[in-house]
Amino acid sequence: MKKIIFGIITLTAIIIGFSVIFLQFEATTKPSTTPSAAKKETVTKDEKPVSEIAIPTLFVHGYSGTANSFKGMINRLADDGSVTKSLVMTVAADGTVTSKGNYDKFSQNPTIQVIFEENKSSMVNQALWIQNVMKELKNNYHIEKVYAIGHSMGGVSLTSYIEKVGSDKTYPVIEKLVLIGAPLNGLVIGDDGVTPYDLTEDGPKQSSERYSEFMKNKSNIPTNLQVLNIAGDKLDGTKSDGSVSVASALSGKFIFNGQVTSYEEQVFTGKNAAHSNLHENTEVDAKVAAFLWDIKKVD
């Protein structure tokens, strides 16, 4: 009897011993389930960031402009990788918009070139046509935000459009605006560089009807807008780019400054600052690229 009891005790001790050894082994080999460990398992070195939706840039030509007006600038910016050529949108005299090209919302700074078939029309008509373009972008391309560049009359018409539409969510939001040689206060140029429209600290000495209208409606300009205003001075004594005086272009300061998030202006000088040379000037390219897309061009 004693032998049987002793055998049972011995067997029990052996079973308990093996159980302890097994539990210790399982504890040392079981993977940790703490939150930090689980997080590390989901991260891979090859994981790529999600592409961002690009903000397209509209290019609006000036009075009597054509597809060639901004063709050079767009090609140069595309060749150096700053932008991707995308859409060309043509507006007929009746306001009908037709589009050519492909738009990829994930491409590098896609361009949208706007062309008016009736290229010698009024600011009022052009502002309405820009409105039609914006509707097309919103409704058919689902574009919510844009940048815009306007040369000469194109800049005037963009300013008129912005004041007309304001913050209406029916249209894409213009976040950044570039004006190049825009005659915001008329086209008077003095041979000696002096005109009745010259600027003072408080504004132009004299206001054109166009400028007065801009000032009257400036409160409609969305406050989120950022503006770069570029003027040209040929240095021929007229203080102008040959078509638009520096004073007329820079009168934009009194329209935008204090109303928008930021306002910046720059005057380019020399023969490459002539009115039609401004959008062919590589220094202007660099300034535009830095302002719109934060691209620093290295000479």
Name every residue whose Cβ is closer than 8 Å to that of residue 106 and which is 6 or more positions away in sequence. Answer: 51, 52, 53, 54
Which domains does the chain carry? Answer: 57-293 (3.40.50.1820)
Report residues of the chain scoring pLDDT below 50: 1-6, 8-9, 11, 14-50
Question: What are the E-state strand segments in the chain?
Answer: 57-60, 84-91, 97-101, 110-116, 145-151, 173-180, 199-200, 203-204, 226-233, 262-269
pLDDT at position 51, please?
A: 65
Predicted confidence (pLDDT) per residue in 150-194, tens digit? 999 999 999 999 999 999 999 999 999 999 999 999 999 999 999
CA distance 232 to 299: 22
Predicted confidence (pLDDT) per residue in 108-162, tens digit? 999 999 999 999 999 999 999 999 999 999 999 999 999 999 999 999 999 999 9
Structure tokens belonging to residue 27: 């504890």
